[in-house]
Structure 1
Amino acid sequence: MLIVIPSSVTGLTIIGNRSRPLCGGPVRYRVAMSRTRPASGDAVRRRPKDRKAQIARASAEAFSALGFHGVSMEAIASRVGISAAALYRHYASKYDLFRDAVLNLGQQLVDCTAFADGTEFDDPHDELRRLVSGLIDTAMANRESGGLYRWEGRYLRGDDQASLIAQMRTVNHRLQRPLRALRPDLTSRQRWTLSISVLSVIGSIVDHRAKLPAVQVRALLAELATALMATELPGSTDTVGEPAAPVSTASVESSKYEALLTESMRLFNNKGYRDTGMEDIAAAVGMPASGIYRYFAGKSDILAAAFRRAADRLSDELTAITTAIPDSEDALTAVIDAYVARSFAQPELDYVYYTERLNMSPTDQKILRNMQRSTVESIVDLVVAVRPEWTPAQARFAVHAAMSLVIDLGRLMRYTNSPQNRAVLQRILDVTLLGRYRLRAALPAK
């Protein structure tokens, strides 16, 4: 008897020759692969060879755009064009996917500079140039997702966090090697300041969406990196004095409203937005949690109000400077000094903005982006007046680089509000925006 099991069920055609009754004795089968073809018009779906790479790109871009908590496995699967079940065959959890996305970005920075470990360079300038070029190319290739390791890497756990730190340390050491040969007089802290400054400027392109032809972006970032590596930093004996006093807001900080804004930002910076409860904020201010709702509907409203307040004050400060100081270079120098003073007096503002802004409503996010854009354009106008060789588009990239430097160097300095730290940051921003550094007649006391 011929027994055939349809190939549509099993994918195989089984042809058997039963030599004995079904109730007894062995049955021998010949198994042959079916050569059936899909019906006319049907397509055979095959898994792309680069499926895992597609998942990696999609997840990195999603986590960078929406944050770790704002992304689901289903959303990433949809971006790739597969089911969530198929995605789980590659990754057991969202955290596994996130960890690989972050560490893959860090590994790309390690890989693009790895050539330096096995090469003896006759000219340290050439080694430094090639390192910077590789880092710029990698940052540009990951502009849609590079913000992930900069702002979301804090969600890595234990050994994973240590792995990211080790990756960044490796890249910094590679930048510092030719720097040590070129400038043997630098202290270890000064080398770290300069290498982190270079990485900050290059990485700043992931924090904004300003437009510029790729060849000009590469040239501008290389120009800024080269200038920073040559910067003469103030030594520990160059500046003395007491830390500057915080920007004065005494007339309003006694109010519960202002206290809620201040303490909320401090807690968001220390604990993270999602791990800070309304009870935590209330306890810091000395009021019951129910009392907060007299001022704000929720945490998101507190976040938005704090940023709007800071943006308004910065805008007022810029307007006052440009109105009072007619010379563009003097005005830009005053803007730099004011920005540095504000960053040390309120260190949590910029960092919390970049790490937690996605927790605001879309409307509030748009309002804050527009306010930031207005601030950037005010500074761009001054930069172009001082550096006419730059177009407004080039100046815009430099301004965003300066803003990134304030955050990254501030964190390196642990925001210790000392005259030396402020002088170092002023010097770095001078080189970035003015193209040279200006000696101050006296360190600002405010």
Structure 2
Amino acid sequence: MPTRRAATADGIRRRPKDRKAQIARVAAEAFSKRGYHAVGMDDIAAQLDITATALYRHYTNKYDLFRAAVLTLGQQLVDATAFVDDETDSLAPAAQQERVVGAVIDVAIANRDRGGLYRWEGRYLQGDDQAQLMTQIRLVNRRIQRSLRQLRPTLSSADRWMLSAGVLSVAGSVADHRAKLPVGQIRTLLSGVAADILAAQLPTAAEAAEQPVVVPRPVAEPDTVGRYEAVLQKSLVLFDQQGYHETSMGEIAAAVGIPTSAIYRYFAGKQDILSAVFHRGADRISGELASGLAGVADPAEALQRLVAAYVASSFASPELAYVYYTERVNLSAADQDMLRNVQRSTIDSWARLLISARPDLSEGQARFTVHAAMALVVDLGRLVAYQDSAQVQAVVRRLMHVTLGV
């Protein structure tokens, strides 16, 4: 809804004192929902029922507004967890851990409509601004790890980072979907999952060595797979590395080793390539679901098979999941509807299995839990750069199991 000037007793509409903060909130929501490139200053001004000229009194350009919106969200996490660095704080480690987790989750819930901004759109920050966001996130991770060091002193640094990043991922996952639950239930559910993650017993190197490891699939050369397939693969890599809008048809053609005009024999434009990538991904997810459920009567066992397949496919094709979260807003309306329907169907299937394995969960709680588990794989995968390591992949699988509670 537009944020109008407040009307006073004399009938004159006056500019709210927190106008700049209002602009940042509305902009963050718009950027999060539609993506940085799809939102213009006029769009934000219209939502606020002000002129673009009035907007420029507070922010010099769209990037300036975008930067403020992203870093303000990051700063909220920093401010909410600042008590951890207070030398006068006398909380016991367990109480401190509970408080810091609750603070992170509260910020995520309060910014649910805007959280996708720093999770997925923050990559458009430039230079020092990108570094500042990374500094904010590292600081919050270290604050989560403060009590973890005391409660679990034998954990390695790598394991502490996996666990603290897992907590941030579970909290941030609420921005990735629109499933509904009362706020109190969301907080209780995510707090329980986060506590389980921080208490998780991670697989040892010996245990991990006995488990399967997936090596990321190399991008095949055009003469191996054909031009159509090469265009899809090279496009996906470029969309992941530099973003859909920053990738030109000429760059895709150069990566494949063909003239730009040759791409148009297969695709009408860049959006068609993105659509084909996502259709391919939807087919893969559907196939994995069918395979995971085939001949399995026990829901917990079925979920374990689905977890193994999900982690394997994510590590085999690491670009796909990230591009799904970051670039789906660039699809046509019809393709966005298709993708939402496929995702909803997949989540519903996982949620039904989860409820069968854990009857204590409601339908809504099961959906939130499944979304959290899937987000965990993407976030942790990127944290470790999708290493083709048995140890890393075993840890991700374990934490996915912990998140689901199976």
Q: TM-score range with shorter-chain normalisation?
A: over 0.9
Give the residue type in structure 2 aligned to 1:77: A
Q: CA deviation at 1:246?
A: 5.6
If you compute each CA radius of gyration, which structure gives the higher value, 1 or 2?
1
With over 3 angstroms needed to count, the CA separation of the structure-2 counterparts of 1:246 and 1:157, relative to structure 1, is: closer
Task: Name the residue aligned to 1:193.
Answer: 162
Counterpart of 1:320 in 2: which secondary structure? helix
2:98 to 122, 129, 140: 129
CA distance in 2, matches of 1:312, 1:295: 19
CA–CA distance in structure 2, aligned partners of residues 244 and 105 of structure 1: 35
Find 1:276's aligned residue among 230, 236, 247. Answer: 247
Partner of 1:180: 149
Partner of 1:54: 22
TM-score norm. by structure 2 comes to 0.93
Whether 1:244 and 2:211 are equivalent positions in the alignment is: no
Partner of 1:216: 185
* TM-score (ref. length: structure 1): 0.85
Q: Distance in 2 between matches of 1:245 and 1:410?
A: 13
Q: What do residues 391-429 of structure 1 show as CA deviations (whole Å, max 9, x unaligned)? A: 111010011001110111000110112211211111001
Alpha-carbon shift at residue 235 of structure 1 (Å): 3.2
Q: Tell me if 1:344 matches 2:312.
A: no
* Letter paired with 1:361: S
Counterparts of 1:96-245 in structure 2 under 5 Å? 96-118=64-86, 119-240=88-209, 243-245=213-215
Match of 2:60 among 59, 84, 92: 92
Decide which moves more: 114-123 or 386-395. 114-123
The alignment status of 1:82 with 2:56, answered yes or no, reads: no
Q: CA deviation at 1:125?
A: 1.0
Percent identity for Structure 1 against Structure 2: 56
2:333 paired with 1:362: yes
Q: Please tell me the residue identity of whatever aligns with 2:141.
A: N
| Separation in 1, partners of 2:282, 2:217 | 14
- Which digits, 9 at most, give the CA deviation of each residue in 1:317-350, with x for residues without a partner? 2112212212111111000000000000000001
Separation of aligned partners in 2, 1:230 and 1:240: 22
Runs of 4+ in structure 1 off by over 6 angstroms are 247-250
Aligned residue identity for 2:16: P
Given residue 401 of structure 2, which amino acid in structure 1 is its aligned partner?
Answer: D
Question: Over residues 233-273 of structure 1, what are the superposed CA-to-partner deviations in whole Å (9 max), with x where a residue is unaligned?
Answer: 123444338953567999x9723222221111011111221
* Aligned residues of 2:41 and 2:52 also touching (Cα < 8 A): yes
Match of 2:400 in 1: 429
Higher alpha-carbon deviation: 281-290 or 176-185: 281-290
Query: Is contact 2:219–2:233 with CA below 8 Å preserved after alignment?
Result: no
Specify the code of the residue in structure 2 equivalent to 1:150: R
User: Unpaired runs of 5+ in structure 1?
Assistant: 1-40, 437-446
> Structure 1 residues 108 and 167, CA, compared in 2 at 3 Å: closer, same or farther?
same
Q: Corresponding residue for 1:408?
A: 379
Q: What is the rounded CA distance, in whole Å, between the counterparts of 1:138 and 1:357 in structure 2?
A: 25
d(CA) in 2 for partners of 1:130, 1:165: 23
**Whole-angstrom distance in 2 between the partners of 1:81 and 1:365:** 28
Higher helix proportion (structure 1 or 2): 2
Amino acid at match of 2:318: P
Which consecutive unaligned segments of at least 5 residues does structure 2 have?
Answer: 1-8
After TM superposition, the structure 1 stretch with the greater mean CA deviation from structure 2, 316-325 or 339-348, is 316-325
Question: 1:355: how far off?
Answer: 1.0
Which of 368, 386, 391 is the matching residue for 2:357?
386
One-letter amino acid matched to 1:111: D
Please tell me whether the aligned partners of residues 154 and 161 of structure 1 are also in contact (alpha carbons under 8 angstroms).
yes
Query: Deviation at 1:103?
Result: 0.5
Q: Check conservation: 2:215, 2:315, Cα contact below 8 A.
A: no
Kept in 1: contact 2:70–2:118 (CA 8 A): yes
Alpha carbon RMSD of aligned pairs, Å?
2.0
Q: Is the 8 A contact 2:37 2:245 kept in 1?
A: no
Separation in 1, partners of 2:331, 2:204: 41
